[in-house]
Structure 1
Amino acid sequence: MTREDYGSEPPMPCFFFSHGTTANIMKKTPVAAYWEEVGRQALAQGVERIVVFSAHWETLNDEIRISADPHPKKQPVPWADPTVYKYFDSNVDVNLAGEVHDILKGAGFDVKLEKDFEEVHDSFMVLKWMFPGGKSLPHVVVSHNARCDPGFHLRMGEALRPLRFRKTLLLGSGGGVHNLYRNNWPQIVFRRDSAAQGRPPEQWAIDFSEGLTSVVVQNSGPGLRRGISRLMSHPQFRNAHGTDEHYIPAVVVAGAAGHQDDTGTKNYVGAEAWELVNLRNMQYQFGDWPKAPHVTPIRNSIRDIKVGA
């Protein structure tokens, strides 16, 4: 990889968002307020495009797919008023899809453009909060591979790292602690309130999430890649993730943010929230914004950000 492949712009940070349950599309939580602040910073810092690494889009064999449908359908969101999201303009960038395709193809991946795409809440819910004006920055969604091999997905992120130097935000949407088999469902079923914590979270959820935070903030460069991938062998990983797909976007982001040249960069914890007792929605920023404020602000209250601002 030559310097010319990276371009002349300073690198944009990467993000890993825990998107949580679909209830988050209806209520402005502290996490949604953080997403909005990331969107505000993206506009102010000159971001022109976004690549979203999806937890909910899985492809078989060794294949990776990229959304290339300029007018994708949106998958219906349970317990949500469709008018909240159906008119949001996802603004899929077909040209960016081709660019991502060519980069991954050149890196040896079996990659295809998906021209009949149904967008899922892990992308449009986040983008809706990031850009409350009703239209996203141009973006594409990239699938993960169903084998969930960390080495494979680290290489994906590494291949796409040059996009950070081309005014492009790389964003993984998954979950820090996301095991639907270990959650407490009565509050959402009977009260429609996923955030009602009737009891404290279980220790395994705390242990794994604190381990993830430690790896993110205490490592950089190749050490970040090693740490994120090794967490898949953590004693509490299978409790925290009944299946791997919500963790894999963090691995892709580590590949993009953990190059040797990233050694010494700082990574940051953003807003967080608990849902369904054991679902921990942590947000992370990898690297600094090029201009001040270099770290995305965490608002003390969701009232600090006006809806539609």
Structure 2
Amino acid sequence: MAPTPVHFFSHGSTMMLGEESSSADYWKQCGDEALANGLRGVVMMGAHWDATGDAIEVSMNPSPGKQPVAYVHPSKYVDYKLEADLPTGEKCQSLLKDAGFNARPNDKFEWIHDTYLILIRMFPNKCPPTTIVSMNARFDPHFHMRVGSTLRPLRHEGYLIIGTGGAVHNLYRNVWPPMLQWRDNLAQPTPPGDWALEFRQSVECCITQNRGPALRRAITRLMKHPLYRDAHGTDDHFMSACFVAGAAGDWEDEGEEKGRLGAETWELTNMCNSQFTIGSWRGGLAKVGA
């Protein structure tokens, strides 16, 4: 079958689970589209789980719990049943080991909001079979690009590959009082900083103007951008973008239409939650309403 699309979603703060936004609408549209096209399962890399040394881990907990989230009423997530896909987890480990990675199972991992927030928004009625793959704590962009490249064949089997992180995600430079005092994560009392706007634009240009191996080069090169450290105080929320570039940056992908920005939500003044889709289901992409 034709390769499935790949998503890079900026999950934002925990409050993105409870508050309505254009990003939430887009996540739902992408989930509806996946179900309509016979989705087999989801393979995800988030931003809050990393393995030490040279390892990468695959979640193999048959009944994963959910780590609690702040500023969201428990009714938004506690009753949502997670569906761990252990057979696909075994397949991911096999693919990674064959490619030379030190891949190992983790049968105690509890899922974190960076992944189940997206799943709840995309598939509110039922969680599809899902496999979560960790980052590696050395945060090497080329390592994570290779992880995505290694798992790319799953796109030909009906799996949806998703990376969740952030286009601009520097907690040290966010403006927190509106969220902490008034529970308003979407308040923008002042415009975002120039550094945030500039790096956000660079991310969009890299994803929407490059295909195939050029996409891989563009995304990994962003870590050398002069404003990268302003936009990412730590590297964890950028690794999933490298993972996505690997999964969507093969020579075969040069024939796909370029990536597109489906929605965007600014939070906490300087956090930019951009939502990107690369490729399509049988030639059709979800459309975001005005």
Within the candidate set 148, 151, 156, 2:142 is matched to: 151
Q: Paired residue for 1:307?
A: none
- The equivalent residue for 2:98 is 106
Residue correspondence of structure 1 range 284-295 to structure 2 within 5 A: 284-291=276-283, 294-295=284-285
What displacement does 1:83 show? 2.1
Matched residues in 1 for 2:277 and 2:138: separation? 26
- For structure 2, the 5+ residue unaligned runs are none
In the alignment, which residue of structure 2 is the partner of 1:205?
196
The Cα offsets for residues 87-143 of structure 1, whole Å up to 9 and x where unpaired, read as: 10111111111111111011110011111111000111110011111x211001110
Check conservation: 1:268, 1:295, Cα contact below 8 A. no
Report how many aligned residue pairs link the two structures.
289
Q: How does 1:161-180 map to 2 (within 5 A)?
A: 161-180=152-171
1: CA distance between counterparts of 2:26 and 2:205?
Answer: 20
- Name the residue aligned to 2:60: 68
Aligned to 2:38: 46
**3-state SS of 1:212 partner:** helix
Partner in structure 2 of residue 298 of structure 1: 288
Q: Which residue of 1 aligns with 2:29?
A: 37
SS in 1 for 2:164: strand
Distance (Å, rounded) in 2 between the aligned partners of 1:154 and 1:56: 17
Tell me the secondary structure at the aligned position of residue 94 of structure 2. Answer: helix
- Within 5 Å, which residues of 2 pair with 1:63-102? 63-102=55-94
Letter in 2 for 1:106: D
Find the counterpart in structure 1 of residue 217 from structure 2.
226
State the distance in 2 between where 1:84 and 1:18 align.
19
Q: Choose the corresponding residue for 1:248, options 234, 239, 242.
A: 239
Q: Does 1:17 align with 2:9?
A: yes
> What is residue 160 of structure 1 aligned with on the other side?
151
Aligned mate of 1:191, from 149, 168, 182: 182
- Divergent runs of 4+, >3 A: none
Distance 1:108 1:256 in 2: 17
Q: CA deviation at 1:261?
A: 1.4
Tell me the SS of whatever aligns to 1:208.
Answer: helix
Secondary structure, in 3 states, of the residue corresponding to 2:261?
Answer: strand
Q: Is the 8 A contact 1:173 1:249 kept in 2?
A: yes
CA drift of 1:287 comes to 1.1
SS of the residue 2:245 aligns to: helix
Letter paired with 2:187: A
- TM-score of the pair, normalised by structure 2: 0.98
AA aligned opposite 1:79: Y
Give the superposition deviation at 1:28: 2.0
| Contact 1:13–1:288 (8 Å) recurs in 2 | yes
Aligned-residue CA RMSD (Å): 0.8
- Residues of 1 paired with 2:210 and 2:73: CA distance? 41
Give the share of equivalent positions with the same residue, in percent.
44
CA distance in 1 between counterparts of 2:40 and 2:251 reads: 26
Contiguous gaps of at least 5 residues in structure 1: 1-8, 301-309
